[in-house]
Amino acid sequence: MPPGSELVFFETGQYAFGGVSVLDLRSGEVLRIADSGADPFYSTTGHIVFARPNALFAVPFDADGFKVAGPEMPVLQGVRVENAGALQAVTTDAGMLVYAPAGATVGTRLTWVDRQGKREPIGDQWRLFMAPRVSPGGERIAVVVNDGGKPEIWLVDVGSGGMVPLTASGAATAPVWTPDGKRVTYAEGATRPYSIRSISAAGGGGEEIVLTGDQPIRPEAWHPDGNFLVYTETRENDDLFLFDVAASSSTPRHHGRQGLLGGFFSGRHETRLFLQKNGDRRGVPAFLSRPGSGNTGLGRGRPWGDVERRRLRTVLPRRATVHRRLDRRAACDRS
The pLDDT, as a whole number, for residue 228 is 87
Higher pLDDT, 135 or 308: 135
Does position 142 have pLDDT exceeding 60, yes or no? Answer: yes
Which pTM does this prediction carry?
0.63
Q: Note the CATH number of domain 109-333.
A: 2.120.10.30
The reported pLDDT for the residue numbered 327 is: 54
CA 112 to chain centre: 20
Establish how many alpha carbons lie within 13 A of residue 183's alpha carbon, considering only the half-sphere containing its beta carbon.
Answer: 17
The pLDDT score that the predictor gives to residue 74 is 93
Confidence check: pLDDT of 304 > 70? no
pLDDT tens track for 45-86: 889 999 888 889 999 999 888 899 999 999 999 888 876 678
pLDDT value at position 280? 45
Is residue 257's pLDDT more than 50? no
Q: Output the pLDDT for position 313.
A: 33
Q: Which alpha helices (DSSP H) does 135-183 contain, by range?
A: none
Average pLDDT, integer, range 138-145: 93
What is the C-alpha to C-alpha distance for residues 87 and 219, in angstroms, rounded to an integer? 30
Picking from 181-195, 225-239, 243-257, 302-316, which range would have the lowest pLDDT averaged per residue?
A: 302-316
pLDDT for residue 181: 94
Peptide bond between residue 193 and the one before it cis (omega within 30 degrees of 0): yes
Question: Alpha helices of the chain — where are they, by DSSP H?
Answer: 306-313
3-state DSSP assignment of residue 308: helix
pLDDT at 208 exceeding the cut of 80: yes
- Please give the pLDDT value at position 69: 93
- Round the average pLDDT of the chain to a whole number and report it: 75
Using CA atoms, how far apart are residues 244 and 231, in angstroms rounded to an integer?
A: 11
Confidence label for 273 from pLDDT (cuts 50, 70 and 90): low
Residues with Cβ within 8 Å of residue 117, at least 6 apart in sequence: none
Decide: 254 and 289 in contact? Cβ < 8 Å: yes
pLDDT band at 276 (very low <50, low <70, confident <90, very high): low
Distant-in-sequence, close-in-space partners of 20: CB < 8 Å, separation ≥ 6:
9, 10, 11, 12, 32, 33, 34, 37, 38, 40, 48, 50
Q: Residue 140: pLDDT above 60? A: yes
Beta-carbon count within 10 A of 31 CB: 14
Under 8 Å between Cβ of 196 and 180: no
